Chain A
Amino acid sequence: MRVALFVPCYIDQLYPRVAMATLDLLEQLGVDVEFPAAQTCCGQPMLNSGCDTDALPLAERFVEIFSGYDAIVCPSGSCVSMVKNHYDHLLHENANYDTLRTQIFELCEFLVDVLKIDSLPVKFPYKVGLHSSCHGLRELRLASDSELNAPEFNKPKQLLALLDGVEFAELKRKDECCGFGGTFAVSEEAVSCTMGRDRIADHLQAGTQVLTAGDMSCLMHLAGLIKREKQPIRVMHIAEILAGYEVPQ
């Protein structure tokens, strides 16, 4: 299986450890992974800002670069959802896209649904607070949400539960948005920060030691608040935990 690694632009530039953890993890599991160097950004910031014409060339590039692989894996539910669900607005009747959208996977989704892994040789004796990032939750359905009346499941949690010694923090609001929302974090700074602080307060009361999520963008926002307010919570992307990386001090 030829698998391409799709690394969101901000992870490439600001969180290389997360991308490296994703790569390591997939290689540990025996997957042959390539990183197509021509990739940059999927165009989500542009489309989400209403600038569809600026997003279009990036969507076209993306499809060109990533076509031909058996699977595309990405450590971000939000970016995957952009490609899977929202390129539709931009690319009409593109045969390559119609194939590609069925081959792109968020990391946890790939591990659970494609590789079907049921064990991971990692020790993680911490109380983990799992933030369910909205696009992974409600656009990719990586877990059941509290709004729908449907059977409960949670793919990221299922993976974390494989680790030795892990414990989960029980949140009062299990799937509320953190307030990042892309440019929302800047254009609606006041509400964004209130939302973020509320999420952190929920994790604090639940005893979260390590806060994790499938999207580094949510974590970037929450970590920014945690650091400013000197809260006793460590932040890690789920790929770093699953790959057995150290908890940052």
Chain B
Amino acid sequence: MSAIKSYDHPTNANQFNQDQDRTHWHDSSLWFIREKRDRMSKSLPEWETLRSCASQIKAHTVSKLADYLEEFEKNATARGVQVHWAKDAEEHNQIVLEILRKHQAKRIVKSKSMLTEECHLNPWLEKHGIEVVDTDLGERIVQLRQEPPSHIVMPAIHLKKEDVSNTFHEHLQTEKGNNDPNYLTESARQHLRQKFCQADVGITGVNFAIAETGGFVVCTNEGNADLGVSLPKVHIACMGIEKLIPKADHLSIFLRLLARSATGQPITTYSSHFHGPVEGGELHIVLVDNGRSKIMNSDDYRNSLKCIRCGACMNTCPVYRRSGGHSYAATVPGPIGSILNPLRDAKHHKTLPFACTLCGSCSDVCPVKINLHEQLLTLRTEVKNQKQLPMSKTLPMRIASYVFQRPKLYAWLGGIGKFFLRTMPRFLIYNPLNPWGRHREMPEAPPESFRQQYAQRAKKKSDDR
């Protein structure tokens, strides 16, 4: 796992920010993608219409999810697909393991799937003596480093080519110090090709499953999902139940939005459609709930199930760009992760709704119009209601509220505060307990508040009369 172990976002972010050059490099890499996304989205006059359509389709699907899931199961089964249902991560992993055991599979190739990350499938399978190789290049890099992905679309965006070179030198015996991206990519290709050829079973995620047809689509830029499921006879596709869309007709809307939002490409290089097993083979789909139906029943957070995992909210988030994906200590980081993770486990992820300035950029960039920053604000109250806010945060607010309900007390305390700010020696104001003053000057305290000046002005006016 990553070097960062704490669940506390400020602590992890502070650690990330110690290396300011790297922080800036990370910020610029992601901003580059955000700008590409802007150019691509602005090249489509119908962009905002696409967003509205996608948002409405997803809202509708979530409101009738049970019906659409049944329709999907019926149609997929009719195509010879074996459909499995998992209520949580444990059941999901168990189902996958049973299928693998049935086929005495020992070597698995897996294309990128955030759901299997969420369920921690890899360590579970490895524990049972099965080799799982992630075939997406970025995923493979972080897998070799025994790190979790730091971004849902670009899992190794936190790494420089030098880091990759060192990793490959250690694990794939590449030339030490050779940082040439072509050389490194070719080495990974050769290594992965071997794994593809040896694989007994291919596992993929699902980007969109279509209720009407019982088929599903997997989007990759490297073609690794195709290759991973073309050679073995068994394909297991793992999907969260929210990945459904009603009709094949809707697909184009999402495919146009997904890649533009994710990386600024017009469409992913491969959009692979699966409609049943290969001849003599098996196709399994595992439909996973893992807390999703709970979110579906909540008016405040239901919208978050519209997410198509494009990662645009991460790329645009000024906090994510400057704190790195690992600082969130969660499978899905960034704005959407800061909603999904605390909803599942508020105790561990209580700092995430606060790792946000509420700038609202995520809500405007989201291709399915999730009101991300509003949900993050609401979630803060949820964290407090679950008694996960420390007294050091709640008590000052209670005191401030008491004072603000009493204008005279407020004015009096304001005067005292300003007096001390003006007269106290610098070392008392800029002490280690004052995080504002570590890198910033405090505002200069004026001798009078506005209300005092206003009262004097009003008095002078009436005297003049």
Q: Which residues of A contact B (CB under 8 A)?
A: 7, 9, 11-17, 19-20, 23, 35, 37-41, 43, 45-52, 54-55, 57-58, 61, 86, 89, 134-135, 137-139, 145-150, 173, 175-177, 179-196, 198, 220-221, 223-225, 227-228
Contact = CB atoms under 8 A, between A and B. Distances in A.
Nearest to A5: B454
A187 B354 CA distance: 8
B44 interface: yes
Contact of B454 (A11, A35, A38, A50): A35
A57 B31 CA distance: 41
B13 A41 contact: no
A148 B48 contact: yes
Contacts of B309: none
Nearest to A219: B443
A149 B404 CA distance: 41
Given A46-B397, A228-B439, A138 B453 contact: no
Given A149-B47, A221-B440, A181 B356 contact: yes
A188 B401 contact: no
Interface stretch (B82-90, B142-150, B266-274, B410-418): B410-418
B361 A13 contact: no
B220 to A, nearest CB: 26
Q: Which of A17, A40, A86 has the most CB of B within 10 A?
A: A40
Contacts of B452: 16
A50 B387 CA distance: 11
Contacts of A198: 24, 27, 322
A184 B441 contact: no
A227 B441 contact: yes
A226 to B, nearest CB: 8
Contact of B318 (A15, A37, A176, A228): A176
Interface of B: 9-10, 13-14, 16-17, 20, 23-24, 27, 31, 38, 41-42, 44-45, 47-48, 316, 318-319, 322-323, 353-361, 363-365, 377-378, 380-384, 389, 393-394, 397-398, 400-401, 403-405, 407, 410, 414, 417-418, 435-436, 438-443, 445-446, 448-455
8 contacts: A11-B450, A51-B398, A139-B360, A147-B365, A183-B393, A191-B10, A195-B322, A223-B443
Given A20-B453, A190-B17, A193-B438, 20 more contacts: A20-B454, A35-B450, A35-B454, A40-B407, A41-B404, A48-B377, A48-B380, A49-B384, A50-B381, A54-B400, A89-B381, A134-B357, A134-B359, A138-B363, A139-B360, A148-B364, A182-B358, A188-B10, A194-B322, A224-B436
Given A13-B414, A181-B358, A186-B435, A20 B440 contact: no
Contact of B355 (A86, A179, A188): A188
A191 B364 contact: no
Nearest to B312: A147
B413 to A, nearest CB: 9
Contacts of A180: 357
A194 B302 CA distance: 33
Contacts of B442: 224
